Structure 1
Amino acid sequence: MKHLLPLALAATLAAQGAGAVQIEVAYAYSSVFDPTFERIMQAFATAHPDIEVTFRATYEDYEDATNTILREAVANTLPDVSFQALNRQAILVERGIAKPLDPYIAAETGFDAAGYHQAMLDLSTFGGKVYGLPFSVSTPIGFYNMDILRAAGIKTVPQSWDQVIEACRAIRATGRQDALFWHWNISGNWLLQAAMWSQGVPMIKDGRLNMDNPEGLKALETAQAIFRDCGMKNLSGADASKQFASGELGMFFSSTAYVGFVDRSKTGSWDFVTGPYPGIGGAPQALPAGGNAAMLTSASDDPEVRKAAWEFIKFTTSGEGAAAVALTTGYIPPNKAANALLMDSFYAQNPNKLTAANQLPLLSEWFAYPGDNGLAVTQLIEDSLEAILTGDATDMEALRDDMVEEVNGLLPH
């Protein structure tokens, strides 16, 4: 379901002056980012009363964001600014939908001093040109209801998936069935990529699916053990996050983005703690960078519209705008200036949001599957994981081999 603009945000926009330059903006994940944009717009409307921002219906998820903007490009109904997943930017660049930001960056005084982390900026750089500014960056983390864990005799958060599965058994032995949810169906096969990266192996290599190896088999066997031994239900991530926030779920593994949601929605006085993402056979060697970037997708010929779109992109990704990401979600601001605003007291008072920031040295590529079939590949892999969850697939080596063959058949040769 797509969500309409929140009423509070609509009221903020309505207060802007007549005759302002009008731009349209689109983003995904209403439940995560609505509070972020409400906060941003309170400041942006004051700083830029000459720019009127209209938010389109929210993309359901990152796949929907990509599919929608590809359709809008054909219909010539593109928004001026679109927030797209870090791993979906390439196709918009290849199709000429995203416009390079270099001319606007070059015209800015002291842009480098705005403090973008170079590693994060590189995620949006193609052919030496910058096509997006990172808006939110995430790593996968563990969410724990310590009351449930302690009742099962577990005093510290698990550090590996073997320990997670042992914790599941202990929780279920107390009579509680809802021990865990691992967000296997999150956008872009992100957590399967995490299972590969945590072993130090990229999921895509030389344009092919790189799972026909022991690490690929181990990733699928780990998923099978999580599903089977933890008795995991087939839920959406949104439903699982609500169940966790209600205090009914022992462990939840997903994006740090959900920290803000849990903080806002948590019912009861139980002890909520986050922890580093578990590794396979030890601490993770690397983790995929999640999140999204602000991209200039305007089809307008009016230079004032494009300049206004740039002002919005710049504001939302630097300083005060980027700080709002951390304040309202659990994402890491991709900007040193924003982090400087937060480090003195915010993370000390919000240690659950510091977990992801501490994993920044592990950030690695969140792979986009190359070619026109990228979204189909994402779905094929998701279907394979669901077959494990439902018990339709029991032989992980056979499943891996079939998945590798089918995926590579869809990728460009």
Structure 2
Amino acid sequence: MLRTWMAAAAFTLAAGCAHAQTQTEVVLQYPYPELFTETHKQIAAEFAKVHPEIKVTFRAPYESYEEGTQKVLREAVTNQVPDVTFQGLNRVRVLVDKNIPAELDGYIAAEKDFDKQGFHQAMYDIGTASGKVYALPFAISLPIVYVNVDLVKQVGGDPNNLPTSWDGLIDLAKKVKALGPDYNGITYAWDITGNWLWQAPVFARGGTMLNADETKVAFDGPEGQFAMKQIARLVTEGGMPNLDQPSMRAAFAAGKTGIHITSTSDLNKTTQMIGGKFTLKTHIFPDVVKPNGRLPAGGNVVLITAKDKAKRDAAWEVVKFWTGPKGAAIMAETTGYMPPNKVANDVYLKDFYEKNPNNYTAVSQLALLTKWYAFPGDNGLKITDVIKDHLNSIVTGTRAKEPDAVLADMTKDVQKLLPKSVGAAR
């Protein structure tokens, strides 16, 4: 019996060692741990059930999209990039320009009935650069309005007929602010990564960041003038305080802010922080002028950066699962983001939006979706910092009463950083 037991134990140990040796490790890194850690943990657990031959290992998360991009750019020089990286939608271009991610067209073409798994052309378009697919979208967000229904009722507003214009929102904000010094009428997450909420009001009016061949600033026209004036009005009329994003979120969740404009990605976290203290209602982004009005898609995509073929093949299985029906559904249920996968929406989340109408607000704006713009050239990341600095001069109140002058200065500074010739827009 002892010999039999020892033989069985030796066989089990050998089998376990063989399994460990045949496993391919895929190292994965993602941004914003406060939003995505639980999401990736749950998806990884489900992935392990169907792909025991692949071991997914997580690196410490990036704190932001900017940090994630800068880290990958540095790591590429010393061949220390992770096998799979999640990056902001507007960062695909800079990584492709440095030849860092792998092309996915071959993998996509080799898949049978990929469309039946919820993958479609619009998903490929988001991660396309120079005519080739380098990334698949994982989590999509759009800007929405968060409303404290209790405060709206307190100042005589109608939660069932909320304003859809900047004028209406600012008027409502004034009434909330008038409740006392402890209240904020409105907050606007202007400092979101990549100038996202600067682009939103410009695109909503039908404007663009640059001209068609990307050689000249175009946000200095009527659309940009309108956008800058509204941001200034939030300070001068709506009484918007100078807070960073986490502080804005905390103030709103504490019941001290009437209106908060930010990404739908914040919905799950904000709802948890509110904890039933008041009724939250989400609302559409203001003043989207159709038919040319659009809203930039936020969120992140997943890219394969592994160089070894075996690693790349395993990484593709990871990418497929994370962006496929199951992974996308988990992402939607654990965050405020929308899944770009059709099957996730039509099958896994069939009843989810009926039970969670606040999550559906962003989905209702999907027809307005456009690309989150990435500035061209080696100064692309620097340009976003320049824009942020100029917006900061408005929000701090230093130049809140001169939005036109701020826009003019911002235009000059951005123009200086543009490459002299980059060809047609990609």
**If the length of structure 2 is used for normalisation, what is the TM-score?**
0.89
- Conservation of the 8 A alpha-carbon contact between 2:325 and 2:348: no
Return the alpha-carbon distance in structure 2 between the equivalents of residues 254 and 305 of structure 1.
Answer: 37
Is 1:170 paired with 2:175?
Answer: yes
Aligned-pair CA distance for 1:245: 2.3
Return the alpha-carbon distance in structure 1 between the equivalents of residues 301 and 285 of structure 2.
Answer: 23
Aligned-pair CA distance for 1:43: 0.5
**What is the aligned counterpart of 1:90 among 89, 93, 118?**
93
Return the alpha-carbon distance in structure 2 between the equivalents of residues 216 and 334 of structure 1.
Answer: 29
Aligned-pair CA distance for 1:281: 7.5
**What is the aligned counterpart of 2:404 among 378, 394, 397?**
397
Who is 2:81 aligned against? Answer: 78
Who is 1:24 aligned against? Answer: 27
Who is 2:320 aligned against? Answer: 314
Who is 1:358 aligned against? Answer: 364
Partner secondary structure for residue 204 of structure 1? coil
**What is the aligned counterpart of 2:414 among 404, 407, 413?**
407
- Conservation of the 8 A alpha-carbon contact between 2:268 and 2:334: yes
Who is 1:298 aligned against? Answer: 306
Return the alpha-carbon distance in structure 1 between the equivalents of residues 288 and 174 of structure 2.
Answer: 18
Aligned-pair CA distance for 1:44: 0.8
Return the alpha-carbon distance in structure 1 between the equivalents of residues 376 and 402 of structure 2.
Answer: 28
Q: 1:384 to 1:267 in 2, by over 3 A?
A: same
**What is the aligned counterpart of 2:295 among 284, 287, 312?**
287
Partner secondary structure for residue 179 of structure 1? strand
Return the alpha-carbon distance in structure 1 between the equivalents of residues 294 and 105 of structure 2.
Answer: 30
- Conservation of the 8 A alpha-carbon contact between 1:323 and 1:341: no
Who is 2:49 aligned against? Answer: 46
Partner secondary structure for residue 286 of structure 2? coil
What amino acid sits opposite 1:395 in the alignment?
Answer: E
- Conservation of the 8 A alpha-carbon contact between 1:159 and 1:282: no
Instruction: Summarize deviations over 1:135-182 as a string: whole Å, max 9, x none.
Output: 011110011110011111111322111111101110012214222210
Return the alpha-carbon distance in structure 1 between the equivalents of residues 249 and 290 of structure 2.
Answer: 26
Q: 1:103 to 1:283 in 2, by over 3 A?
A: closer
Who is 1:384 aligned against? Answer: 390
- Conservation of the 8 A alpha-carbon contact between 1:246 and 1:267: no
Return the alpha-carbon distance in structure 2 between the equivalents of residues 190 and 56 of structure 1.
Answer: 26
- Conservation of the 8 A alpha-carbon contact between 2:253 and 2:270: yes
Q: How do 1:135-150 and structure 2 match up within 5 A? A: 135-150=138-153
Long gaps (5+) in structure 1: 1-16
Is 1:182 paired with 2:188?
Answer: yes
Is 1:258 paired with 2:266?
Answer: yes
Return the alpha-carbon distance in structure 1 between the equivalents of residues 334 and 388 of structure 2.
Answer: 29
Who is 2:350 aligned against? Answer: 344
Moved more, 57-66 or 387-396: 387-396
Instruction: Summarize deviations over 1:289-335 as a string: whole Å, max 9, x none.
Output: 11111101113x2x221111111100000110011111011111011
Instruction: Summarize deviations over 1:185-205 as a string: whole Å, max 9, x none.
Output: 001111111110110111222
Partner secondary structure for residue 69 of structure 1? helix
Instruction: Summarize deviations over 1:341-381 as a string: whole Å, max 9, x none.
Output: 24431100011100011100000121101001011100000
**What is the aligned counterpart of 1:240 among 248, 259, 262?**
248
**What is the aligned counterpart of 2:157 among 137, 154, 157?**
154
Aligned-pair CA distance for 1:48: 1.2
Partner secondary structure for residue 366 of structure 1? coil
Return the alpha-carbon distance in structure 1 between the equivalents of residues 239 and 348 of structure 2.
Answer: 39
- Conservation of the 8 A alpha-carbon contact between 1:185 and 1:382: yes
Aligned-pair CA distance for 1:63: 1.0
- Which of the two has higher C-alpha Rg? 2
- Conservation of the 8 A alpha-carbon contact between 2:28 and 2:58: yes
- Conservation of the 8 A alpha-carbon contact between 1:145 and 1:270: yes
Who is 1:102 aligned against? Answer: 105
Return the alpha-carbon distance in structure 1 between the equivalents of residues 277 and 63 of structure 2.
Answer: 31
Aligned-pair CA distance for 1:212: 2.3
Q: How many residues align?
A: 395
CA RMSD, 1 decimal: 1.7
**If the length of structure 1 is used for normalisation, what is the TM-score?**
0.92
Return the alpha-carbon distance in structure 2 between the equivalents of residues 318 and 179 of structure 1.
Answer: 41
- Conservation of the 8 A alpha-carbon contact between 1:247 and 1:267: no
Q: 1:283 to 1:270 in 2, by over 3 A?
A: farther
Moved more, 109-118 or 281-290: 281-290
- Conservation of the 8 A alpha-carbon contact between 2:295 and 2:370: yes
- Conservation of the 8 A alpha-carbon contact between 2:174 and 2:238: yes
Long gaps (5+) in structure 2: 1-18, 421-426
Instruction: Summarize deviations over 1:257-311 as a string: whole Å, max 9, x none.
Output: 0111122222334111111111168999211111111101113x2x221111111
- Conservation of the 8 A alpha-carbon contact between 1:28 and 1:58: yes
Q: 1:117 to 1:137 in 2, by over 3 A?
A: farther
Return the alpha-carbon distance in structure 2 between the equivalents of residues 274 and 379 of structure 1.
Answer: 29
Partner secondary structure for residue 413 of structure 2? helix
Following TM superposition, the consecutive aligned residue runs of length 4 or more in structure 1 with deviations greater than 3 angstroms are: 280-284
Return the alpha-carbon distance in structure 1 between the equivalents of residues 290 and 304 of structure 2.
Answer: 41
Return the alpha-carbon distance in structure 1 between the equivalents of residues 258 and 120 of structure 2.
Answer: 35
- Conservation of the 8 A alpha-carbon contact between 1:159 and 1:283: no
